[in-house]
Amino acid sequence: MSKPFAWSYSSLTAFETCPRRYYETRVAKTIVEPQGAPLLLGNAAHKCLELRVSRGTPIPKLIQVTATDGSTVSQSSEGWETMIKAILSKADDSTETVVERQICLDDRFCETDWFSKTAWVRGVIDLGLIKETKALLVDWKIGKRRLDSDQLQLFSALAMHVWPKLERVVTGFVWLKNNDVDKQEFTRADIPEIWERFLPRVKRMKQAFDASTWPERPSGLCKHWCPVTTCPHNGGYES
Ligand code: SF4
């Protein structure tokens, strides 16, 4: 029996980039994408920051990883401790601090278990401070700075469903290469509009899922950056 349909922000955007690639790598899993050094670096940075906030573990001065192809990348953590302290200084005794908090909603926007059969949308809050009617949600980013308001909107909506007292949510990306911050503020009044924007996109993804229709969508990725080498548009993969 096929798995029930569920989505996340990354699966939605992967589907929209190219349904065929999404299908091969994330639904049928006929192709296992090698985990490149940048992805591993992002995972390692997330882990360091999670341990720093949850257990007080000092952040190493240099985060370094080696991928399976032997390539190595590293990232200085200069400024991260100062930034963490500045964020955590906003918390007091009445603040709920969450780290790597998994949020899973069913299609009636009620929270459910991450692996529930009724799971509909999933997201993970890297760091969140929830205080009465206000929240600050942080998403660590290791890649190139690019403001993605859609993701910030989705995370604010997820949080407002999970914490019903919230009236105002500030969500932000912290760009770990330069410690830059992009943030936006949303209120509960924004929720209907946020879902109005997401639901047609999710509907298209579900229709593809139900009909098992995964068309190719050629783009600049085809030339060297797509592992689906059986696709006629593929120009040769450079992992
Ligand atoms: S080569 Fe291009 S069109 Fe083909 S699956 Fe990959 S991204 Fe999609």
Going by alpha carbons, the residue nearest to atom 5 of ligand 1 is: 21
Question: At residue 162, does pLDDT exceed 70?
Answer: yes
Tell me the per-residue pLDDT of 41-87, one tens digit each, with 9 for 90 and over: 999 999 999 999 999 999 999 999 988 778 888 999 999 999 999 99
Higher pLDDT, 4 or 95: 95
Lowest-confidence range among 36-45, 170-179, 203-212? 36-45
Considering the chain, what is the average pLDDT of its residues?
93
Nearest-atom index, ligand 1, CA of 20 = 5
Residue 37, pLDDT score: 81
Cα 25 to ligand 1 centre (Å) = 11
Q: What does the pLDDT read at residue 35?
A: 79
d(CA 149, CA 136): 15
Spatial CA neighbour of 123 closest among 2, 4, 11, 21: 11
Please report the sign of the dihedral spanned by the C-alpha atoms of residue 195, residue 198, residue 202, residue 203.
positive
**Residue 122: beta bridge partners?**
8, 104
Q: pLDDT (tens digit, 9 = 90+) per residue, 188-206?
A: 999 999 999 999 999 999 9
- Tell which atom from ligand 1 comes closest to the C-alpha of 232: 4
Q: Model pTM?
A: 0.92
pLDDT of residue 102: 97
Residue 129: pLDDT band by 50, 70, 90 thresholds?
Answer: very high
Q: Name residues contacting ligand 1 (CB within 6 A).
A: 18, 20-21, 216-218, 221-222, 226, 228, 231, 233-234
Among 13, 16, 21, 31, residue to substitute to test ligand 1 (most atoms within 8 Å of Cβ): 21
- Identity of the residue numbered 34: P
Q: Which atom of ligand 1 is nearest to the CA of 18?
A: 8
| Alpha helix stretches (DSSP H) within 176-232 | 191-211, 221-224
Taking the alpha carbons at both ends of the chain, their separation in whole angstroms is 33
CA of 222 to the centre of ligand 1 (A): 5
